[in-house]
């Protein structure tokens, strides 16, 4: 009988850059073949891709805007991964944060100053996302329930909660066909005039740096990494492993909840059902490519922001169907993801 086994291997430093870049190039080659098969000139398509990501100051700023939720959620997922806790629930935690933001804006925007509402919304969204994820962390720490199962199920629960609220308490009176909230006045300040680049970008970068400091320069961060690396040894050293599991999920969820607030107040200015179409799941790959290091997550999030915006322009310029353009985007994600696995592990053929 023949089987396959993955063995961890030593990786030279240069490979951490070379392998993802090679995967990116290979995915572009396959994507070009798909475009040619669909009757589209690949050079025209990829020219639109580059213009969509870097073609002008406003489009480049849009790329930075798109990387913000990837950076926030990717940093949070990297922190929980270091504790060996797999947070698959960033999608739902973003939705819960967006709901909290919408609720406080709707409740206060008729009488409170917008800057105060924005600050309260950022705080409340972090608390909501942290509490939502912390519940899954509690179930894992105290009852041994697998966090992958609970966070995936809670994603669906968060989405259904949003659907109900947008058809009830949070529904705009002017929205007859599509469920959405009323327009929300509090906005993230624009930091680059003439573009859509808002203060959420600076906040996300600062929090990534803060995440690095927390993880590698504080006693709590050391305990968190120790509990993730070897729970038995950490428990023998007197560390509260269960507490670190819950803490890692709370922090990870807080980052995702904050991403929900930033998307609502910085990009859309209202809440609708498509506020997060797979952003949380993509953020898992962002953290993986960044090797669960908060600083390395910054260029990783930027790369995925480039992909997201570039594909949107590619579709518009070439007339590709939405399905095929998303297939090309998914192809890029797949190549990058597989390259990360092959970078870390060697495949062995085992005969028994």
pLDDT per residue as tens digits for the range 55-99: 889 999 999 999 999 999 999 999 999 999 999 999 999 999 999
Are 85 and 248 in contact by the 8 Å Cβ rule? The answer is yes
Nearest to 290 by CA among 220, 215, 348: 215
Q: How far apart are CA 223 and CA 213, in angstroms?
A: 14
- What pLDDT, on a 0 to 100 scale, did the predictor assign at position 207? 97
Ranges 25-39, 147-161, 197-211: which has the least confidence: 25-39
Query: What DSSP string describes 212-269?
Result: HHHHHHSHHHHHHHHHHH-HHHHHHTT--HHHHHHHHHHHHHHHHHHHHHHHIIIIIS
Radius of gyration (C-alpha) of the chain in whole angstroms: 21
- Summarised one tens digit per residue, pLDDT across range 17-26 is 777 788 888 8
Stronger pLDDT, 9 or 338, i.e. the higher one: 338
User: What structural domains and CATH numbers belong to the chain?
Assistant: 41-319 (1.10.3470)
- What pLDDT, on a 0 to 100 scale, did the predictor assign at position 278? 86
Average pLDDT over all residues of the chain? 89
Q: How far apart are CA 137 and CA 347, in angstroms?
A: 33
Highest mean pLDDT among 27-31, 132-136, 186-190, 268-272: 132-136
- What pLDDT, on a 0 to 100 scale, did the predictor assign at position 4? 66
Both tokens assigned to 22: 């090679």
Ranges 60-69, 199-208, 330-339: which has the least confidence: 330-339
């Amino acid at each position: 009988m023949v089987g396959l086994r993955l063995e961890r291997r030593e990786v030279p430093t240069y490979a951490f850059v070379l392998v993802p870049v090679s995967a990116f190039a290979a995915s572009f080659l396959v994507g070009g073949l798909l475009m040619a098969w669909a009757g589209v000139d690949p050079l025209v398509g990829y020219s639109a891709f580059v213009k969509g990501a870097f073609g002008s100051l406003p489009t480049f700023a849009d790329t930075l805007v798109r990387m913000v939720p990837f950076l926030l959620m990717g940093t949070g997922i990297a922190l929980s991964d270091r504790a060996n806790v797999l947070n698959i629930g960033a999608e739902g935690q973003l939705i819960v944060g967006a709901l909290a933001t919408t609720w406080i804006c709707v409740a206060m925007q008729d009488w409170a100053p917008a800057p105060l509402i924005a600050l309260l919304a950022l705080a409340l969204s972090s608390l909501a996302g942290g509490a939502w994820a912390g519940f899954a962390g509690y179930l894992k720490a105290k009852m041994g329930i697998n966090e992958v199962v609970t966070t995936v199920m809670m994603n669906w629960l968060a989405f259904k909660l949003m659907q109900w609220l947008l058809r009830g308490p949070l529904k705009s009176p002017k929205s007859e066909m599509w469920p959405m909230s009323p327009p929300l006045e509090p906005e993230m300040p624009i930091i680059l005039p003439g573009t859509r680049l808002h203060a959420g970008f600076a906040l996300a970068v600062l929090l990534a740096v803060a995440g690095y400091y927390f993880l590698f320069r504080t006693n709590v961060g050391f305990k968190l990494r120790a509990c993730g690396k070897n729970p038995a040894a950490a428990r023998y050293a007197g560390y509260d492993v269960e507490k670190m599991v819950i803490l890692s999920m709370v922090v990870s969820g807080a980052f995702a909840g904050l991403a929900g607030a930033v998307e609502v107040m910085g990009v859309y200015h209202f809440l609708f059902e498509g506020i997060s179409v797979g952003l949380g799941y993509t953020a898992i790959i962002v953290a993986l490519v960044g090797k669960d290091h908060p600083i390395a997550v910054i260029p990783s999030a930027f790369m995925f922001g480039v992909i997201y915006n570039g594909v949107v322009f590619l579709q518009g310029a070439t007339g590709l169907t939405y399905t095929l353009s998303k297939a090309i985007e998914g192809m890029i994600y797949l190549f990058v993801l597989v390259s990360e696995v092959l970078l870390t592990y060697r495949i062995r053929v085992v005969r028994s």
